[in-house]
Amino acid sequence: MKNFKYFTLYFIVFFGMSIIGQKFNLVIRGTPIGGYSWAEIWKNLPFIFIISAIFALYANYFMNEINKKQKANILKTNERVEAKEKYHSAANTHECRVCGCYSNTYPWGEDSKSPSYQICSCCGVQFGTEDLTLESIKECREEWISKGGEWFTKNEKPEGWDIKTQMKNIPDGFR
């Protein structure tokens, strides 16, 4: 019964529109000038009733589908927000959460919730797009390591750089 919550409303709207359209010649082509008489409308009432019910069923179905999609989108949005808060609410830090490279700015802002959308010069991750969840952080890290841990911006690579030493700088909770 929950799926037919607004069926009656839709039916009344379509039924009323049909009768008004026939009476005042607003909708139907071929109606006499000035519309149908009340007697003719009364005669057409079973047809109007059936057509209105069909339109109301379709309207009800499509509105239910739209509501389902909206609820699914809200749930997905809530999951993303929860994941972002869960994985990105650590104390502010200058280190990349993927590779541990030090940055002069806060990759996730001073509040640790506002990404800078800059690109890490070491692993090439874009803060706020590729490091939203712990899973995505680990995937980016594995991909970066599988490519040999090469620097994204090669001219910024410090002399004597060691990948194992740098990865010790990865903030707690992001390893």
Mean pLDDT of 136-164: 88
Mean pLDDT of 21-35: 67
The region, left, alpha or beta by phi > 0 then psi within -120 to 50, assigned to residue 100 is: left
DSSP the chain: -GGGTTHHHHHHHHHHHHHHHHHHTSS-TTPPTT---HHHHHHHHHHHHHHHHHHHHHHHHHHHHHHHHHHHHHHHHHHHHHHHHHHS-SPP-SB-TTT--B-SS-TT-TTSSS----B-TTT-PBTTTT-SSHHHHHHHHHHHHHTTS--SSGGGPPTT--HHHHHTTSPTT--
- pLDDT at residue 7 in the model: 85
Lowest mean pLDDT among 41-45, 63-67, 102-106, 110-114: 110-114
Percentage of residues in the chain with pLDDT exceeding 90? Answer: 6
Q: In the numeric block, which tokens belong to residue 79?
A: 């999951």
pLDDT surpassing 70 at residue 88: no
Mean pLDDT of 138-149: 90
- pLDDT at residue 143 in the model: 92
Mean pLDDT of 74-97: 65
pLDDT surpassing 50 at residue 132: yes
- pLDDT at residue 131 in the model: 84
Tell if the pTM clears 0.85, that is, is over it.
no
- pLDDT at residue 87 in the model: 47
- pLDDT at residue 28 in the model: 56
